[in-house]
Structure 1
C-alpha cells in the first residue's frame, strides 16, 4: 500500500474542508480559515484574514477539486479562478529548494504559497494521479487511491460506492 505524501495529505485535507453533501464548510468564515491554516502549520498563529483573502482560498479549493478528475466534466470558471490566484502567489526558486515562499509576504500569502508548493509537488512527482475526487456526485470529496492499479473510484465503498451501485440497480429495475 502506497501512503500519501505530506503534500497529498495537505491538499486532501484542504479540499475536504467542505462537505458538498451536507453543505458543512469548516472554513466558512475568515476566522475558521485562519484557525485551519494554523492547525495545519501553514501559519504560526491564526492570521487575520480579510473576506477577500478567504474568497481566494475558497476559489483555490474549488479549482483544486475540479482539477483532480480531468475525465469528468469540470468547471472552467473554477479552474480559471484558481489559476489566476496561483499566478499571484509569490514563490522563489533556489538551488537548495526548488520552490519556497518569497520572504516579504503576509501570513495569508505564505499559507497560499505552501498550498501552491504542495500542489506543484503532487503534479511534478506524478502523485496527483493517486489523489482523486469521489465519483459519487453528491460527495465529490478528495481521497488517496491506494489501489495497485489506480482504479478506486469512491472515497468509501461502504457509503459512496454503495449509493452509486444501489442507484444504478434501482434504475435497471425500473426499466
Structure 2
C-alpha cells in the first residue's frame, strides 16, 4: 500500500471528514504525520519538499533545508496541539511554539473583489517561514469564517488525526466513530464492568 493511501486515507491527509476550502490545506499539513499507521511525510527534506511542492506551498527560488524542515515539523505539532485544544484537550507549549515560529512569517493585508480583507503570505527568505505564513493566513481566514474551531485533532492518543467537526453542536470528538470512537466506548465499557 502506498503511504498516505491505506485504510481510506487520501494523499492530501484528508479522511472522511475533510475541512472546507483552503482549511483542508491546514488539515492535510497536520495529517502529514499519521500516528496510527506510523509514518511521517515530512520525515526528510525530499519527502517534505515533494508534499509541499505538490500543494503549491514551496517558493521555487528558496530551497528546503533540514533546518526549515525541522521548523515545519515543530509548526505542525504545534498546530496539532491547538487542534486538541479545540477538542477539549490541553497541550502545554503549543501556543508558545506557534507564536515563536510565526514571528518570521511575513503576512500582508489584501482585499478581494468584494472588499473583504484577508491575509496573504508576503514572501520570505527561507522555505519554512513562507509555508508557515501561508498556513497562518488560511487559519486566520478560517477563524473569521467561523470554521477554525471546527478543525480538531482526534481525542484518541493513538490517532491524533485532524478532522473537521461538521456536527451541528460541534461536539465531535473522534476522527471516526467506526474506529476511534468505538475503541473509546469499549474501553469505557470495560472500565465500568471491572
- The TM-score normalised by the length of structure 2 is 0.79
Deviation at 1:95, TM superposition (A): 4.7
Deviation at 1:58, TM superposition (A): 0.7
* 4+ aligned runs moved over 6 Å, structure 1: none
Q: Between Structure 1 and Structure 2, how many residues are aligned?
A: 172
Range moving further from structure 2, 163-172 or 64-73: 64-73
Kindly indicate whether residue 32 of structure 2 is the aligned counterpart of residue 12 of structure 1: no
Range moving further from structure 2, 96-105 or 119-128: 96-105
C-alpha distance 142-101 of structure 1, shift in aligned 2 (>3 A): same
Task: State the distance in 2 between where 1:149 and 1:112 align.
Answer: 30
Structure 1 runs not aligned, ≥5 long: none
Matches within 5 A, 1:95-106: 95-96=111-112, 98-103=118-123, 105-106=125-126
> Residue deviations 1:62-115, cap 9 Å, x none?
111111132312121x33122111111011224555322224644543322211
Contact residue 62 and residue 125 of structure 2 kept, 8 A: no
Kindly indicate whether residue 90 of structure 2 is the aligned counterpart of residue 73 of structure 1: yes
Task: State the distance in 2 between where 1:139 and 1:5 align.
Answer: 22
Which structure dedicates a bigger proportion of its chain to helix? 1
Deviation at 1:128, TM superposition (A): 1.2
Deviation at 1:54, TM superposition (A): 0.5
- The TM-score normalised by the length of structure 1 is 0.87
Match of 2:42 among 10, 19, 27: 27
Range moving further from structure 2, 108-117 or 156-165: 108-117
Structure 2 runs not aligned, ≥5 long: 1-16
2:5 — aligned with what? Answer: none
C-alpha distance 141-46 of structure 1, shift in aligned 2 (>3 A): farther
C-alpha distance 133-104 of structure 1, shift in aligned 2 (>3 A): closer
